[in-house]
Amino acid sequence: MLRTLIATHQRFGLRAPFRIARGVKTAADVITVTIRQGAQEGRGEGVPYARYGETIEGALADIAAMAPLIERGGSRMDLSAAMAAGAARNAIDNALWDLESRIAGTSVATLADRPAPGPVASAITIAIDTLEAMETAAARAAAVPLLKVKVDRDNAAAQIAAVRAAAPAPRLIVDPNESWTMAEVVALQDLLVAHRVDLLEQPLPAGADGDLAGFASRVPICADESLHTAADLDALVGRYAYVNIKLDKTGGLTEALALVDAARTKGFGLMVGCMVCSSLGIAPALLIAGGAAFVDLDGPLWLADDRAGGVVDDGGMLSPPAPGFWGTPA
């Protein structure tokens, strides 16, 4: 069973700057892993994230260190035992799933004993900008099922109000990206309720989760940066109502599937999210999106040009990539 593993850095320009509370990006920098075995090859993608101490160079080095294990036939379980969760493992793990499906001549959904992915209502994200620009963006998306608004600490109330005024109908996620204090979470409760916010995503810095213990939020709160793998769940019980599962945090679909089951067992509602990435990063996440209450997989929609055959958005409904793109027979 001779394999070859190739990892490359690819950059996808964005159609507009993507601003959140801690910074702005104008391109998506991803790692693409290709694993070849005989006539078959599988692909996976990861997005190294500076917030978690990851870099493109570091991810490529970590993948190179795993290449001997994978090339001599190492499994996804071997990979999980040898490598920490994160973007580098995500790219390898999902490439292995894709390769397995092609060798078996069946879909990853079948191999994982999960329903085949179908269209899902995925959030359209309104990034931080001037209030006028955010209102304009929200007005363009006013007919979608789900919106997500990125906010900061200084102008959050006005940003939420502007988006809701322009888009009164969609369900609404508010994401401060760790920029609020507990005092602000408390002070903004009335405003969140008044603007019919459905979910408040990671308002506090990861590590400050204890401040939420015993707090009866009037809007459900979701852990994002505070959750990576199933090992993190116990510390979030009684503090968060939902958890946001991202494959770049879990280190691939393998751990994400286990995290879904563990989170449900512990009573958490599910959100499935992503980094700004191409459709190759989204295709595996769609395997777990169908059972989530909130889906936020619009990363490829920010790209000026996505990979050919990728996901398609139609009015906030995201359809899976074309057959043969990832994890399905052509």
Q: Do residues 281 and 47 touch, judged by C-beta distance below 8 A?
A: yes
Q: Which pLDDT score, from 0 to 100, does residue 329 have?
A: 84
Helix, strand and coil content of the chain, in percent to the nearest 5, comes to 35, 25, 40
Q: Tell me the whole-structure pTM to 2 decimals.
A: 0.96
Per-residue pLDDT in tens (0 to 9) along the chain, 330 residues: 689 999 999 999 999 999 998 888 999 999 999 999 999 999 999 999 999 999 999 999 999 999 999 999 999 999 999 999 999 999 999 999 999 999 999 999 999 999 999 999 999 999 999 999 999 999 999 999 999 999 999 999 999 999 999 999 999 999 999 999 999 999 999 999 999 999 999 999 999 999 999 999 999 999 999 999 999 999 999 999 999 999 999 999 999 999 999 999 999 999 999 999 999 999 999 999 999 999 999 999 999 999 999 999 999 999 999 999 999 987
> Is 246 annotated as catalytic?
yes
Q: Which pLDDT score, from 0 to 100, does residue 1 have?
A: 67
| Catalytic choice (25, 148, 246, 266) | 246
Structural domains of the chain sorted by starting position, each given as residue range(s) with its CATH number in brackets: 3-105 (3.30.390.10), 120-319 (3.20.20.120)
SS (H, E, C) 294-308: EECCCHHHHECCCCC
Could you give the strand order of the β-sheet that contains 3-20, starting from the edge strand earlier in sequence? 3-20, 23-37, 40-46
CA distance 32 to 46: 7
| Catalytic choice (25, 148, 150, 266) | 150
Q: Do residues 275 and 246 touch, judged by C-beta distance below 8 A?
A: yes
Give, in order, the Cα–Cα distances in Å from 197 to each of 8, 14, 168, 220: 40, 28, 11, 9
